[in-house]
Amino acid sequence: MATDSTDFLIIGSGIAGLRAAIGLAGAGRVTILTKAEPSESNTGYAQGGIAAALGDDDSPALHAEDTIRAGDGLCDEAAVRVLVEQGVVYVRELLDWGMRVDRGADGQSALGREAAHSVRRVLHAGDATGREIGRVLWERVCSVSSVMTVQHALVTEVLVDQGAAVGARFFDEGGRRRDIRARAILLATGGAGQIFRETTNPLVATGDGVALGFHAGARLTDLEFVQFHPTALNRTDAPRFLISEALRGEGARLVNAGGEPFMTGYHPDGDLAPRDVVARSLVREVDRTGGAVFLTLAHLDAAYVQQRFPTIAEKCRQIGLDLARDPIPVGPAAHYIMGGVETDEWARTSLAGLFAAGEVACTGVHGANRLASNSLLEGLVFGARAAIAMQQTASAGRLKPDRRQIPFASPARVVPREMDEKGETDDKDDISAVRDLMWRAVGLFRGRDSLHDAVARLTQAYEAREARVRAAPSDGEAWRRFSLVTIARLIARAALRREESRGSHFRSDFPARDDEHWRFHAVDVRGAE
Interface with ligand SIN by CB under 6 A: which residues? 47-48, 244-246, 336, 372-373, 375
CA-wise closest residue to 485 among 412, 427, 421? 427
Q: Do 311 and 280 form a contact (C-beta atoms < 8 A)?
A: no
Residue whose CB is less far from ligand SIN, 46 or 166: 46
3-class DSSP state of 211: helix
CB of 246 to ligand SIN, least distance (A): 5
Give me the helices (H) in 414-522, please.
430-441, 448-471, 476-497, 515-518
3-class DSSP state of 270: helix
Residue whose CB is less far from ligand SIN, 353 or 379: 379
Q: How far apart are CA 444 and CA 99, in angstroms?
A: 36
Contacts of 452 (CB under 8 A, 6+ apart): 414, 496
Residue whose CB is less far from ligand SIN, 241 or 336: 336
| Burial class of residue 103 (count of CB atoms within 10 Å of its CB; 0-12, 13-18, 19+) | exposed
CA-wise closest residue to 332 among 371, 282, 368, 274? 282
CB of 91 to ligand SIN, least distance (A): 14
DSSP-assigned states of every residue in 114-173? -TT-SS--EE-STT-HHHHHHHHHHHHHHT-TTEEEE-S-EEEEEEEETTEEEEEEEE-T
Q: How far apart are CA 43 and CA 31, in angstroms?
A: 19
CA-wise closest residue to 355 among 320, 328, 393? 393
Residue whose CB is less far from ligand SIN, 116 or 451: 116
Contacts of 12 (CB under 8 A, 6+ apart): 32, 33, 34, 35, 41, 186, 187, 188, 189, 190, 209, 358, 360
Residue whose CB is less far from ligand SIN, 47 or 256: 47
Give me the helices (H) in 207-356, please.
208-216, 246-249, 275-289, 302-308, 310-318
CB of 336 to ligand SIN, least distance (A): 6
Other CB atoms closer than 10 Å to residue 106's CB: what's the count? Answer: 6
Contacts of 51 (CB under 8 A, 6+ apart): 63, 87, 114, 117, 121, 122, 123, 371, 372, 373, 374, 377
For 17, phi then psi, to 5°, come to -65, -45
Residue whose CB is less far from ligand SIN, 246 or 384: 246
Q: Do 361 and 344 form a contact (C-beta atoms < 8 A)?
A: no
Q: Do 335 and 200 form a contact (C-beta atoms < 8 A)?
A: yes
CB of 275 to ligand SIN, least distance (A): 8
Residue in the shown chain whose Cβ atom is closest to ligand SIN: 48
CB of 456 to ligand SIN, least distance (A): 32
Residues involved in catalysis: 275
Residue whose CB is less far from ligand SIN, 334 or 469: 334
Residue whose CB is less far from ligand SIN, 198 or 245: 245
CB of 194 to ligand SIN, least distance (A): 16
Residue whose CB is less far from ligand SIN, 246 or 522: 246
CB burial of 180-206 (b: ≥16 within 10 Å; e: otherwise) equals bebbbbbbbbbbbbbbbbbbbbbebbb
Q: Do 10 and 186 form a contact (C-beta atoms < 8 A)?
A: yes
Residue whose CB is less far from ligand SIN, 124 or 183: 124
CB of 198 to ligand SIN, least distance (A): 15
Nearest-5° Cα angle at 91, 184 to 304: 135
CB of 116 to ligand SIN, least distance (A): 11
Element (H, E) at 356: strand 354-356
CB of 243 to ligand SIN, least distance (A): 8
CB of 384 to ligand SIN, least distance (A): 19
